[in-house]
Amino acid sequence: MSSTIKLYKVIAFLSLAILIFVQSRLLYNTVILNNKQYYLNEKMAISESYNQIIHNDKLFPGGQEIIDDYIYPNLPQLKILYSTTPKGFTEKTELISDSLLKRLKQSSNMNDVINRIIKKNHLKEDLRYALVIKSLNITFDGTQFINLFERDSSNEHSSIISGGLTELNPQNLITSLKVSSSEPNSYSIVFLLHVDTQNRSLAILKSSLPAFLLSFISIVLVIGIYFSTYRNWLKQKALSEIRSDFINSITHEFNTPIATILVANKSLQRDNNNVVLTDVIERQSLRLKALVNHVVDTAKFNKKEIKKTNLELIGFIKEITQDYELKKDENVKFSNNFDNIEPIFIKADHFLLITLLNNIIDNAIKHNLSPSKLIHFEIENNNNEIRLNITDNGVGIPEKSRKKIFEKFYQARIIKNTSGLGLGLYYVSEIVKIHEWQLEVHSKNGHYTTFCIIIQKAIL
């Protein structure tokens, strides 16, 4: 396996790992947000109703009276023990707090309170709650509070006065109330109310399900696109290698007959007086040789590899048209406006310019039903550019096809039974782009087609 393929895989898997990490963080934050927002309006309604019900009371209706009965009668004794016998004070506070918690649990009417809140606010009947005492402190001087009871963090359920909710967390905390007095011989109490639905986790997962599905689908699509792209890349790589092998093979096989044709033509030139024909044979043989040598460039159209030279345009065109006029199987006539035009030099790749002009001429001949096929070359010589117009008297190009004729493999099928692969005008367009020229097409259906090539002048 080449280093390029290894690097490709490493980058792809690293990108996938980063994507999965980012998606995981987004999903985690989505779940956290849904957890915070879950049952938010209902929680506010419960808190408001609960505060109204226990107004001027503690924990539940009647809870303050129970607490007062246990605290106030014992304050004088607690004050003496606190000053004289710390151990006795501790034992007494534990006894009072245990008895008070037991009495509050027995006397709790929070079930009725929660049911009233549910009916009033039209809430779910499967709500669970927990009423908790967090702390209870007494004061003898009104400033210093002494702990009578403190919620045990290792055993939170021991301080639950009423309710069956076991999972207590900040998300299901409805209200936290602290009632205290700054008067001597009084107490302060902090109590909490937790309320939650029975299947909170499942509900949060359901609300987060669209995000989970979207994330999963996006990751699957990315993986699928990656594998599809990777497989196509491997196929293209294999095709590229096959094409290279084919080009190398065909180049080797063509060189031998081309060399033989050139040697035979030299013999004809010595023995035959028809110099024009032998010149054509030599020129076309050299053109075939150039075609083999440049087949890769024609296929790739690599802008960096083209070889621009100064070419005299008028003579170049006359040479190409002369070759066509010598063919006996086509009734083709060429005309031009070159008589009064001085030589024009342009910078172009010799082989690609031949390919461009030959493709336009071949196209003009192939799509022409006239008894006499006319092709007219016209040059407009402006200050900094040259407009080369090539006009035929063929069938023309329908307007709906004019935007597609330069696409690879597109064939308008204007005339039935015309051969070709639909690459000729595609090559023309690509060659024009490589040279940074411009190309225009003007046509009248059934009458003519003009290809206008706008070329920058060469600086000599």
3-state secondary structure 216-240: HHHHHHHHHHHHHHHHHHHHHHHHH
Residue 134's H or E segment, with its range, is strand 128-139
Q: Which tops the pLDDT comparison, 15 or 256?
A: 15
pLDDT in tens, 349-394: 988 898 899 889 988 888 888 888 899 999 998 878 899 999 999 8
Question: What residue type is 142 in one-letter code?
Answer: G
What pLDDT does 222 receive? Answer: 84
What pLDDT does 38 receive? Answer: 60
Neighbours of 455 (CB within 10 A): 21
Q: Which tops the pLDDT comparison, 153 or 213?
A: 213
What pLDDT does 392 receive? Answer: 94
What pLDDT does 400 receive? Answer: 82
What pLDDT does 412 receive? Answer: 67
326: CB partners within 8 A, 6+ apart: 276, 277, 280
**Separation CA 429–CA 408 (nearest Å):** 10
Q: What angle do CA 52, 55, 61 make, to 5 degrees?
A: 100
Q: Does position 328 have pLDDT exceeding 60, yes or no?
A: no
What pLDDT does 376 receive? Answer: 95
What pLDDT does 455 receive? Answer: 93
Strands of 337-434, DSSP E: 345-349, 373-381, 385-392
**Separation CA 414–CA 406 (nearest Å):** 15
Percent of the chain exceeding pLDDT 70 equals: 79
Domains of the chain: 40-196 (no CATH), 294-456 (3.30.565.10)
**Which tokens sit at 232?**
């196509």
Q: How far apart are the first and last CA of the chain?
A: 51
Nearest alpha carbon to residue 8 among 298, 338, 233: 233
What pLDDT does 450 receive? Answer: 95
**Separation CA 214–CA 112 (nearest Å):** 44
Residue 128's H or E segment, with its range, is strand 128-139
For the ranges 78-82, 249-253, 356-360, 445-449, which has the lowest average pLDDT?
249-253
What pLDDT does 249 receive? Answer: 60
95: CB partners within 8 A, 6+ apart: none
Q: Does position 248 have pLDDT exceeding 80, yes or no?
A: no
What pLDDT does 166 receive? Answer: 83
Residue 266's H or E segment, with its range, is helix 200-271
Which of the four pLDDT bands, split at 50, 70 and 90, describes residue 335? very high
pTM for this entry: 0.46
Q: What angle do CA 158, 159, 165 make, to 5 degrees?
A: 85
Cα 165 from chain centroid (whole Å):
46
Q: Does position 242 have pLDDT exceeding 70, yes or no?
A: no
